[in-house]
Amino acid sequence: MIHHSDKGGQHISVAFGQRCAQAGTRPSTERTGSCFDNTITESLFASLECELLDRRTFRTRPEAKRAVFAYIEGFYNPRRRHPANGQLSPAEYERRHALKNVYEDDYAAA
């Protein structure tokens, strides 16, 4: 799991890194000054805002949570292509990556 954060001092501190390690997470920002750490996450948030949040008004927080979940799990992950994934959806990219690892493990064992 990756903990997404900005480049605020609290998110690049040693204590924050240690707490992430204890929780079994990895911070999304690892190198100070790297503009590429959050690119994919920022792309998701920009798409979410433009394609869902700016187009709807939600009456309740649970309604908004359901809509965000449906957008991410029903559209973004399985269908929306991303240039960082070779124009594959995140789900398809993960599937191919997992298959590649299986084939590499089979080849190494042979």
pLDDT digits (tens, 9 = 90+) for 39-65: 777 788 889 999 999 999 999 999 999
Same-domain check for residues 3 and 22: yes
Do 43 and 20 share a domain, yes or no? no
Q: Are residues 67 and 77 in the same domain?
A: yes
Position 15 confidence tier, pLDDT thresholds 50, 70, 90: confident
Whether residues 7 and 22 fall in one domain: yes
Confidence at residue 42, expressed as pLDDT on a 0 to 100 scale: 78
Tell me: do 87 and 69 sit in the same domain.
yes
Better-predicted residue by pLDDT, 10 or 47: 47
Domain that holds residue 23: 1-37
pLDDT of residue 78: 94
Does residue 34 carry a pLDDT above 60?
A: no
CA-CA distance, 7 to 36, in Å (whole number)?
Answer: 12
Q: Which of 73, 68, 67, 102 is nearest to 89 (CA)?
A: 73
Shared domain check, 49 and 1 = no
